[in-house]
Structure 1
Amino acid sequence: MLLIGNEDPTLRLLVNTVIMGMICGGAFALAALPQAVVGFMVPLIAGSAIFMITDAGPVNGIFAIMFGILTAIIMAGSLLHSKMLIRRVAAELEAREKTSVIELLLKSFEENSSDWLWRIDAERRLRDVSSRFAEAAGTDQKELEGASIQKLLKKLQSLGTAAAKDLLLNIRARRAFKDVTIPISLGGQQLWWRVTGEPCFDETGAYIGYRGVASDVTDTKLAEQRLSYLAHFDPLTGLVNRASFYDLIADHFAQSRSGSCFAVHFIDLDQFKAVNDTMGHAAGDRLLEEIAARFSSVVAPPDTLARLGGDEFAVLQRSGTSTDAAAALAQRLIDASVLPVEVNGDIFRVSASIGIAMAPSNGADGETLLRSADLALYQAKDAGRSTFCFFHTGMDDIAQERRLLGSELASALEAGELCLHFQPLIAAGTGEPAGFEALLRWQHPTRGLVPPSTFIPIAEQTGLIKAIGGWVIEEACRTASSWPEHLKVAVNLSPAQFEGSSIVEAVRSAITEARLDPQRLELEITESLFIAQPEDVLDKLRQLKGMGISVAMDDFGTGYSSLSYLWKFPFDRLKMDRSFVSAIEHDRIACDILRAISSLGRSLGMSITAEGVETEAQAKFLQGIGCDQLQGFLFSRPLPVENMPVYFLQPVIRRHRGEAGAQPDAGLFLKTGNQARSPL
């Protein structure tokens, strides 16, 4: 302070300037240490205060005040600068700590995840390549480090793909992108990467490259492709499925010229259910694969073959198709299907029934055209199967008639419109009735007598056959209980009566309610009964036979495996099919078949019945080969219940007319039959 008060102004100015420079420099030099700033500045401020008190000079006093203010400002500024410096250092330390944590987490993520991180610089060269990235790319880290991203995409055979072009375009435009799926080829395998990235900039805003994450999504992509395939193709045969086939027809209608002709074939395999149910679904699947391969060899592009489900197939025959071309294709499909098929060493034979609809004459849209083809398929099956039919307008009327009959049949039983007629079973040796076969009839209030061939298939399709079949058994047993005790009653059973119902309990209840001797009841079945669940059917038949009921095989000789069923189950009777009987007088092969059946039956201890006998020559031949019973219009048509008393009294009436000495033989009933001969 003494120097400050020196009389020499020059010296005083110099000293003050030096002192002020030392004060400012010291304050800023010690800014990082707040305590040192305080220790340095407080003595100066205190000295200024003392000088101001001890020196009363006006100039020195003013100078001291200014000096104190300046030092105070310098100290405050130094303290503020120190505080800001400390905060910045703390922030930097915190940022470094966060960066370390992030790097640690990213490293852990990459090591333990199926994803990997990637980074490129401003020249689009790979940087900081991780081991996970190198492994996914099938190369070495050192080789990838510094390589251009174009070089990597070229190595992975992805450079020219649309996805890779989109990726590079985004990078050039410095746009962020997400979930870009790139196909790659690695080690001969087709893989897919999903890539996400964003551009990076430094503190000054300068572009420094890209960073992002990538992952292998091959499994997901394959699953998506599989789902897409299943949505459009049949997994068993690889053919177009139902949904895609319907879409193809709709597209073809939309794309075809006005009046353009094309065909749709609906195909259903005959006898397939027998294979599927008796040999198992695995054998059925192999059979379908073989049939699909055969159909594929017949159907050539631009035509399309599809599997609609089960044993149903379809063909879209393209524009320009004529009815002749459609018929030729249908016949080739049938010819391909009828060839024997070997499955697990077993030989199977199936065939195909086909319904054909022509566009646009049979339908102006897909739904109508497919419905027309379906109706034609039903007609083909009714025509005997293993054939094809074209749709015609009358089929709509037939389908409508069937639906109406089905609706009316549902109430026919409750309305008492169903009834039984009984056709005699004549003992071949004596010509006398040994029993009667119960035949179902529908006396419709407006249609009259509806033949069984019309309504029985409808009853089976709608499921009404179970209720109707139960009523037939009950009514037949009740009626037979009033006959002479030596007469039996035969009842036909439908395969549907064995499905999901207790036929054994139904029969037991019927004979108990009617008080009928079980030995007077004979149940007739066909080979089709064994198609579904043969072991279950055989078990139920054994239970019925154990009750004393007779079991007969109807329509024998028309199936393909009758002998196997005769070996599995001891039938009481075989009924020769009417198709053989009607050929007796003009077909020697039919006669030989009938002789063989009769011989087989006798050797197995079974009785033989011939149905459909209409002439004396047929009756004599059948008697000669050893048939036990004869049935047909030669003897009598089926009789309603109210006419049966007259039938029973005929021998008494004949004796009363002086014919008591006549030998009872088939001729006695022949006259009755000739008088009453009429269609069913």
Structure 2
Amino acid sequence: MSVAHVKAGSPVRGRRAEGMGLPGIEDELRKQNDRFSAAVENMSHGLCMFDADERMIICNGNYISIFGLNAEIVQPGIRFFDILQHSVDIGVASHSAEELYAIRKPYIDRAKPSTYEETLSDGRIINISHRPLASGGWVSIYEDITEQRRAEQELKEQHRRFDAALANMSQGLLMYDADGRLIVRNERFLELYHVTPADFPLGMSHRDALEQLARLGIYAEIDIDGEISKTAACLQAGEMRSTYRHLADGRTLLVVRQPMSGGGWVATFDDVTERRRVEERMTHLAHHDTLTNLPNRSMFRERLDQALGEATDLAIFSLDLDRFKAVNDTWGHPAGDWLLKCVAERLQRCLRNETDVVARFGGDEFVIIQFNPKGAGDAEKLAKRIVDIIGKPFRDKSRDMHVGISVGIALSPDDGRDADTLLKNADMALYRAKSEGRNVYRFFEPGMDAMVRARRALETDLEAALRRREFELDFQPIMNIASGEIVGAEALMRWHSPARGLVPPDDFIPVAEEIGLIVPLGEWALRKACTVAAGWPHGLRIAVNVSA
């Protein structure tokens, strides 16, 4: 609506009226009214002015719009109470006219500026500012602050959620502004470091925080200047930075620094002590034998490949226990496990220094790397020491366990320049050692390859022989010397191989023992001997030698 004109005859301020005729004064007054109307109408807020009799003098369009009033009703001269009644009639007011008047009357009567808020029926919030006029009456400014209050409420809710999140985080948190000053700190941070809020007040710098951690003895060692420069470099690049911090009490914390878009950064602190222990344990288990805690095949191969890459002279020892199966069969697997752990300890004591490596490949197989031996003589000294120490009895629970060890040795670079060749040649030397009586050591020789192939072919034929029924029993009479009578017979096993002919027992019995075939061979021999003896005259005995 258009703003009502100021009453005629009002003095024109800022200009002198003397010397002007009535037409000039009226013209000047009209111009001032136009300027005043334009200013009031273009205000961003609603405005309404009342005289001492509580009648409206002027109002602007925003006032009418805010309350949704009828511009034809709300005209200059209308009483303030009637405007309130009109707002009630159109449903915009949330109270009766009398209640609204009672609420506003104290503010109107005050002789000083005042401000209050009114909530309309549609939920909008209007901020009303009263300013008294010197001539009586007042002017009110109306501002719709609904969105502002909603934004403030949302911000308050965000702060509440933020505080709740900080309080319930499993991680400690520090937030720094763009100047590197601490602006947020949660309770979990204080708990993790066993410190108080006074130790880390808001406003302290990043350097102050690091120096405080060092001063309190929480960080045993820390390069403060280096830490600050690294953090600054990552933040400048917009990159996250993670570091593990080892505390003086033995715990490990993961510290992650994340830059913020508006400058500054957030640092989180997570106690990863148990996780790191599990990870380290898993890494250890992936590279070590669970029974003896020696390096396993995987770790041994890594060390061997590394050493060969450095062109280091090496001696590779392939070791296999003798008579270990007898221990397992006699005393049980727990005793066998105990023996393997004892063997591992003795082998470690045999080594010259911490550089040499002993590993367990599985079962009763061990392997050693001897670094920088002074020729074959050094390797031979170690081999003799191993054979001698392992050959001594192992005492457990008042019982002695006796085993031996066979050793095959390959030298680098003479016997091979890569891991596969060296291990294969050490195994060939081990085959030779076992075939020559056991509890001995042998160095690799080029001709051993043919011998190993022959040995493996013998093992293959032997495994098939029982299935093909190539074994027979010969019976050697047992005579009573005093009477000259035959009292029984001893069963002797013979192997008639289609390819090898008659194979002597001394050639295949030791091999059968090593490859685990001796037990089924013994069972076959017993059954066969008993079947044959069943047809003998009464009183004759049968003897069968069975390997343990």
- Give the TM-score taking structure 1 as reference length: 0.58
Matched residue SS, 2:173:
strand
Query: In the alignment, which residue of structure 1 is the partner of 2:537?
Result: 484
Q: Cα distance 1:120–1:253, how it changes in 2: closer, same or farther (>3 A)?
A: same
Q: Identity of counterpart residues, as a percentage? A: 31
For the residues of structure 2 that align with 1:396 and 1:334, how far apart are their CA atoms? 24
CA offset at residue 378 of structure 1?
A: 3.1
Contact 2:125-2:146 at 8 Å conserved across structures:
no
Query: In the alignment, which residue of structure 2 is the partner of 1:183?
Result: 245
Query: In the alignment, which residue of structure 2 is the partner of 1:369?
Result: 422
Query: In the alignment, which residue of structure 1 is the partner of 2:186?
Result: 130
Q: Cα distance 1:84–1:274, how it changes in 2: closer, same or farther (>3 A)?
A: farther
Deviations 1:345-387 (A, max 9, x none): 5554444322212223333321121122123223323333332
Query: In the alignment, which residue of structure 2 is the partner of 1:99?
Result: 155
Q: Cα distance 1:218–1:416, how it changes in 2: closer, same or farther (>3 A)?
A: closer
Deviations 1:389-447 (A, max 9, x none): 22223332222123323333444456553322111122233232211112121222342
Query: In the alignment, which residue of structure 2 is the partner of 1:113?
Result: 169
Higher mean alpha-carbon deviation, 221-230 vs 38-47, is at 38-47
Query: In the alignment, which residue of structure 1 is the partner of 2:255?
Result: 194
Deviations 1:300-345 (A, max 9, x none): 2332222333433221112354112111111112223234444455
Contact 2:426-2:444 at 8 Å conserved across structures:
yes
For the residues of structure 2 that align with 1:418 and 1:370, how far apart are their CA atoms? 35
Higher mean alpha-carbon deviation, 362-371 vs 451-460, is at 451-460
Pairing partner for 2:498 from 418, 423, 445: 445
Q: How does 1:267-278 map to 2 (within 5 A)?
A: 267-275=319-327
**Structure 2: tracts of 5 or more residues without a match:** 10-20, 48-61, 78-123, 128-141
Q: How does 1:320-359 map to 2 (within 5 A)?
A: 320-344=373-397, 346-359=399-412
Matched residue SS, 1:306:
strand
> Does residue 1:255 correspond to 2:318, yes or no?
no
Query: In the alignment, which residue of structure 1 is the partner of 2:282?
Result: 227
For the residues of structure 2 that align with 1:274 and 1:408, how far apart are their CA atoms? 24
CA offset at residue 41 of structure 1?
A: 5.8
Q: Cα distance 1:282–1:445, how it changes in 2: closer, same or farther (>3 A)?
A: closer
Matched residue SS, 2:185:
coil
For the residues of structure 2 that align with 1:313 and 1:438, how far apart are their CA atoms? 38
Higher mean alpha-carbon deviation, 282-291 vs 374-383, is at 282-291
> Does residue 1:454 correspond to 2:534, yes or no?
no
> Does residue 1:296 correspond to 2:312, yes or no?
no
CA offset at residue 256 of structure 1?
A: 0.9
Between Structure 1 and Structure 2, which shows a larger proportion of helix residues?
1
For the residues of structure 2 that align with 1:461 and 1:439, how far apart are their CA atoms? 20
Look up the equivalent residue of 1:455 and give its one-letter code: F
Q: Cα distance 1:89–1:370, how it changes in 2: closer, same or farther (>3 A)?
A: farther
Look up the equivalent residue of 1:183 and give its one-letter code: R
Contact 1:115-1:215 at 8 Å conserved across structures:
yes
For the residues of structure 1 that align with 2:224 and 2:292, how far apart are their CA atoms? 32
Higher mean alpha-carbon deviation, 162-171 vs 115-124, is at 162-171
CA offset at residue 452 of structure 1?
A: 1.9
For the residues of structure 1 that align with 2:280 and 2:503, how far apart are their CA atoms? 55
> Does residue 1:150 correspond to 2:207, yes or no?
yes
Q: Cα distance 1:158–1:104, how it changes in 2: closer, same or farther (>3 A)?
A: farther
Look up the equivalent residue of 2:173 and give its one-letter code: L
Q: Cα distance 1:445–1:293, how it changes in 2: closer, same or farther (>3 A)?
A: closer
Deviations 1:48-85 (A, max 9, x none): xxxxxxxxxxxxxxxxxxxxxxxxxxxxxxxxxx9999
Deviations 1:462-505 (A, max 9, x none): 555566545434433343344333322223345xxxxxxxxxxx
For the residues of structure 1 that align with 2:34 and 2:329, how far apart are their CA atoms? 113
Query: In the alignment, which residue of structure 2 is the partner of 1:217?
Result: 272
> Does residue 1:428 correspond to 2:478, yes or no?
no
Q: Cα distance 1:286–1:443, how it changes in 2: closer, same or farther (>3 A)?
A: closer
Contact 1:376-1:391 at 8 Å conserved across structures:
yes
Deviations 1:159-183 (A, max 9, x none): 32999467523465262415x1232
For the residues of structure 1 that align with 2:519 and 2:290, how far apart are their CA atoms? 36
> Does residue 1:140 correspond to 2:196, yes or no?
yes
Query: In the alignment, which residue of structure 2 is the partner of 1:12?
Result: 26
- Give the TM-score taking structure 2 as reference length: 0.70
Matched residue SS, 1:443:
strand
For the residues of structure 2 that align with 1:94 and 1:44, how far apart are their CA atoms? 30
Look up the equivalent residue of 2:209 and give its one-letter code: L
Matched residue SS, 2:247:
strand
Contact 2:207-2:224 at 8 Å conserved across structures:
no
CA offset at residue 219 of structure 1?
A: 2.0
Matched residue SS, 1:14:
helix
Q: Cα distance 1:219–1:94, how it changes in 2: closer, same or farther (>3 A)?
A: farther
CA offset at residue 292 of structure 1?
A: 3.0
CA offset at residue 115 of structure 1?
A: 1.0
Give the length in aligned residue pairs: 448
Contact 1:164-1:182 at 8 Å conserved across structures:
no
Deviations 1:73-105 (A, max 9, x none): xxxxxxxxx999999944443443333333333
For the residues of structure 2 that align with 1:23 and 1:240, how far apart are their CA atoms? 95
CA offset at residue 450 of structure 1?
A: 0.5
Q: How does 1:564-583 map to 2 (within 5 A)?
A: none
Deviations 1:518-547 (A, max 9, x none): xxxxxxxxxx3xxxxxxxxxxxxxxxxxxx
Look up the equivalent residue of 1:450 and give its one-letter code: V
Matched residue SS, 1:186:
coil
Contact 2:356-2:369 at 8 Å conserved across structures:
yes
Look up the equivalent residue of 1:223 and give its one-letter code: V
Query: In the alignment, which residue of structure 2 is the partner of 1:159?
Result: 222
**Structure 1: tracts of 5 or more residues without a match:** 48-81, 202-206, 495-527, 529-680
Deviations 1:192-219 (A, max 9, x none): 2231422352xxxxx4x32343322222
Contact 1:159-1:165 at 8 Å conserved across structures:
no
Look up the equivalent residue of 1:210 and give its one-letter code: W
Q: Cα distance 1:148–1:481, how it changes in 2: closer, same or farther (>3 A)?
A: same
Deviations 1:640-678 (A, max 9, x none): xxxxxxxxxxxxxxxxxxxxxxxxxxxxxxxxxxxxxxx
Matched residue SS, 1:114:
coil
Q: Cα distance 1:288–1:88, how it changes in 2: closer, same or farther (>3 A)?
A: farther
Contact 2:373-2:379 at 8 Å conserved across structures:
no
Contact 2:253-2:271 at 8 Å conserved across structures:
yes
CA offset at residue 144 of structure 1?
A: 0.8
Q: Cα distance 1:420–1:339, how it changes in 2: closer, same or farther (>3 A)?
A: closer
Query: In the alignment, which residue of structure 1 is the partner of 2:84?
Result: none
Look up the equivalent residue of 2:504 and give its one-letter code: P
For the residues of structure 1 that align with 2:401 and 2:524, how far apart are their CA atoms? 37
Contact 2:257-2:265 at 8 Å conserved across structures:
no
Higher mean alpha-carbon deviation, 482-491 vs 242-251, is at 482-491
